[in-house]
Amino acid sequence: MAVPIEDYALIGDCETAALVGRDGSIDWLCLPRFDSDSCFAAILGSSENGHWMIAPQASAQVSRKYRDSTLILETTFETSEGVVCLIDFMPLKGMTSEVRTSSVIRIVVGISGRVQLKSELIMRFDYGLTVPWVSRISEDTNKAVAGPQTLFLRSPVRHLGKDLRTVGEFTIEAGDRVPFVLTHALSYLPAPELPDAFVALQDTEQFWHEWSAICKSTGRWSEAVLRSLITLKALTFAPTGGMVAAPTTSLPELIGGERNWDYRYCWIRDATLTLMALMGAGYLEEASAWRDWLVRAVAGSPDQMQIMYGVAGERRLWEWEVPWLDGYEGSKPVRIGNAAYGQLQLDVFGEMIDALYQARRGGLPASDRAWAVELAVLEYLASAWRKPDQGIWEVRSGPQHFTYSKMMAWVAFDRAIKTVKEFGLKGPVDEWQKLQKEIHEDICSKGYSSSLECFVQAYGTEELDASLLLMPAVGFLPADDPRVQNTVKAVEKRLAVNGLVRRYDTHSAEDGLAPGEGVFLACSFWLADAYFLLGRMEEAEQLFERLLKLRNDVGLLSEEYDPKRNRLTGNFPQAFSHISLINTAHNLSHFEKPAEERGR
């Protein structure tokens, strides 16, 4: 039985990441990349699908925290025998001469008394399926091999094989420090040099302290913003600059439901808000790397532009189901890959053009190739904007004329016009202005319901959509327009659950899936942004503070929240939720505010 999603914490090396439970078990880890096959998959099945537990043998009271301004996790176990602290982290590759491949390092420190502990390592490659061949290669090192994959475990604690598990028992007294190093390698290459746990800890802490020192203050929300920025950094694939939406797959949007997706890829849709979050906090290097990843990924024929790509820009993200995993708390199916990569979603064209415009405004180094790619995309969009699509929420039923999709097509031409005027680049401005006007009139005519007196999800429907909260933020209409104000009120009335916002009504929408999901956390932050733009500052701050309380004990958010069960749901931690948190904090605390600046 998996622990609640909110009981997990994240560690990572900016190429992959692991989830560590409050019980001391690492239940999810893919190697060597975010989107590689897992070697621990207990979160989607059972411990027999792979995990690594280090914990006292007796019952314990547990508390945990990240070391200040780092991604180093400290879990404290207090037993009747004494107290120990488990330190978990992953050193970044290239940080020292020793670190050339991914390693998970765990150090048990004795605080008081004398505590008996157990290390249980169950390695299962290929998403919890393949049992490796484990052998002892030296007094302190075990080696596990299955096909091309190898894991080395080095520790002074002697580990023995037992029922296809690798188990070690040991005792810790006050002042003791016992290290465990688990390192990945390819079986057909020479064995790597395994890092020294204590040197790696010092270097990793120094790296995160230096990185965190860049962060600009956001007043009373600075700690929450920094934790979200560290999370985003951890979700970034350092070799390319791409940022995954989450390090997990198939954590359900509704416990027991089928809305279980693989989020270990990079979404074009996240581009603008990601850039603004990074630039607003002072992380121009990361913003530039994300911009450069974006330009490389979408380069090519515009009609082949995808909504998402692999961390290096891969295009084929074939989706398949894993029959041998039971799913998180029985939520099936478990999916690998994401078939939505083949959908037409018009809003991503606007997101891309907007992101590159905001990058120029933010002073990022010029990209000569970017404008050429944009011109080709705009030429394609000039006719493509009239097509129906699957929309921002990637519905798996037939395409519709989604209002948000059309609005982002308008954004594409709006930002292109501004780019020419503000930065002196060349483009057919007269043609773009005609298209911009045509799209605007089309949306106001067909995307607005006279009977509801608000904008609706798709032409010809009377369903609401939380994405329309972004209408004033992107500059489509001002916040004081009655149509915008009425749309915000309609979302509050029909999509809010105890003040938190659902994406749309899955019970009335024909989206090809069984109904039911939690409130969508990014949409709830968007409502706070809408309140801010409407001048409802007290409500904006109250909602923001409420959303902060939904974070788990180490400051992490998933994709959604189940207000009935009071639990986080969906893939975890979710970049979109943390990006939205950062931008809302900037709106409520900075002189220059993303929700105002984006639409200017």
Same-domain pairing of 155 and 232: no
Give me the mean pLDDT over the 96-111 stretch.
Answer: 86
CATH code of 177's domain: 2.70.98.50
Determine the pLDDT at residue 27. Answer: 98
Same domain, 261 and 180: no
pLDDT digits (tens, 9 = 90+) for 539-591: 999 999 999 999 999 999 999 999 999 999 999 999 999 999 999 999 998 65
In a domain, 195, yes or no: no
Is 249 found in the same domain as 183? no
Tell me the percentage of the chain whose pLDDT exceeds 70. 96
In a domain, 564, yes or no: yes
Backbone φ/ψ region at 337: left (φ over 0), alpha (ψ -120 to 50), beta: left
pLDDT tens by residue, 413-460:
999 999 999 999 999 999 999 999 999 999 999 999 999 999 999 999
Segment 482-523, tens digit of pLDDT: 999 999 999 999 999 999 999 998 765 555 555 568 899 999
Is residue 397 very low, low, confident or very high in pLDDT (cuts 50, 70, 90)?
confident
What's the chain's average pLDDT?
94
Same domain, 225 and 163: no
Residue 323 lies in a domain: yes
pLDDT category, 79, cuts 50, 70, 90? very high
- Residues 179-202 have a mean pLDDT of 94
pLDDT at residue 395 in the model:
85
Instruction: Compute the distance between CA of residue 306 and CA of residue 384 in angstroms, rounded to an integer.
Output: 14
Within-domain flag for 198: no
Task: Provide the domain limits for residue 162.
Answer: 5-189+204-211
At position 443, the amino acid (one-letter code) is I
Q: pLDDT value at position 1? A: 61
Please tell me whether residues 181 and 230 are part of one structural domain. no
| % residues pLDDT > 90 (the chain) | 88
Together in a domain, 277 and 328: yes
Mean pLDDT across the stretch 12-19?
A: 97
Residue 322, both tokens: 């894993």
CATH code assigned at 263: 1.50.10.10
Does any domain span residue 194?
A: no
Question: Taking the complete model, does pTM exceed 0.85, yes or no?
Answer: yes
What end-to-end distance do the CA atoms of the chain give, in Å?
A: 50
Q: What domain count does the chain have?
A: 2
Which residues touch 111 (CB under 8 Å, ≥6 apart)?
A: 76, 82, 83, 84, 85, 174
Calculate the CA dihedral of residues 150, 335, 245, 574 and round it to 10 degrees: -100
226 and 176 in a common domain: no
Asked whether residue 406 falls in the same domain as residue 268, the answer is: yes
Q: Binning pLDDT at 50, 70 and 90, where does residue 300 land?
A: confident
- Do 250 and 180 lie in one domain? The reply is no
Let me know whether 139 and 228 are in one domain. Answer: no
- Mean pLDDT, to the nearest integer, of 289-308? 91
Do residues 227 and 185 both lie within one domain?
Answer: no
Pair 360, 289 in one domain: yes
User: How many residues are present in the chain?
Assistant: 600
Band of residue 248 on the pLDDT scale cut at 50, 70, 90: very high
Exposure letters 330-347 (e unless 16+ CB within 10 A, then b) = ebbebbbbbebbebbbbb
Residue 196 domain flag = no
Distance of CA 333 to the CA centre of its chain: 21
Give the pLDDT confidence score for residue 98 in this predicted structure.
61
